[in-house]
Amino acid sequence: MNAFLFRSMIGIFFGAFVAVMTTSALIYFGGQSTIDGMLFIQDAFGYIFCGWLFNVTPLYFKIRSLRLPMQTALHFLTVTIVYFLLGLWIGWIHINVKNFLIFLGISIIGYAIGWIGFYLYFKHESKKLNNDLRRH
């Protein structure tokens, strides 16, 4: 429960930070002198929710009773479905078959790259730890 609360707070704060930085970049680099207040609030809550979602869902990998393929499937489905629904609701994603297929393709490719990267990193770290244990 402590890990959930800690990750929730970090995710919320990170999402809020990204919302402010994105809006600042839009104003500074996009040349917009004003923004729509309601659109800012809506997007900010979307960023905050995404920050929370992407920080809490890795807790699936802490559930020892689930094997890695099940943890991965649950994590991928949760993140993809919830983000897609949020994107539709907020207006980040416009619904049609082409956009859905693009979203699905980007999700699968992005998730695969991230998963493989973390897998290789932790495999390398475990090799280093095992080598250190053998030396001592």
pLDDT in tens, 59-114: 999 999 999 899 999 999 999 999 999 999 999 999 899 999 999 999 999 999 99
pTM score of the predicted model: 0.81
Helix (H), strand (E) at residue 25: helix 2-30
What are the tokens at 35? 């923004």
Contact 84, 93 (CB under 8 A): yes
pLDDT in tens, 16-56: 999 999 888 888 888 787 888 898 899 999 999 999 999 99
The full set of domain ranges for the chain reads 1-93, 95-135
